[in-house]
Amino acid sequence: MKLLRLIEFLRQRQKTVIRACLAVLVLLVIADALPFLVDKHHAHTKAEHLPGFWAAFGFVACVLIVIVSKAFGHAGIMTREDYYDE
């Protein structure tokens, strides 16, 4: 069960894992801003040339999806589990 040990190893160091993940996020945006690393030649729109455009897009998309869907669900679409029972 080496896999289990790995999962538990990471769980014990949760704070370090979180810090490492945040560092990756920051590096990703920095890399996106460096033309010699990421060639934006193939971008389709002007907005995409902004550094971190897709990062902002991803984050906003996620928040939007969660909030809009939950609002939709709580507007009457979500109902009790035995709704269809007779």
DSSP code of residue 52: T
User: Is 9 among the residues that bind other proteins (CB under 8 A)?
Assistant: no
Judged by CB under 8 A, does residue 24 bind other proteins? yes
* Distant-in-sequence, close-in-space partners of 74: CB < 8 Å, separation ≥ 6: none
Q: Which of residues 40-69 bind other proteins (CB under 8 A)?
A: 40-45, 48, 52, 54-59, 61-69
Cβ(52)–Cβ(32) below 8 Å: yes
* Backbone CA torsion sign across 54, 56, 57, 58: positive
Question: Where on the chain is the footprint of other proteins (CB under 8 A)?
Answer: 1, 3-4, 7-8, 21, 24-25, 28-29, 31-32, 37-45, 48, 52, 54-59, 61-70, 72-73, 76-81, 83-84, 86
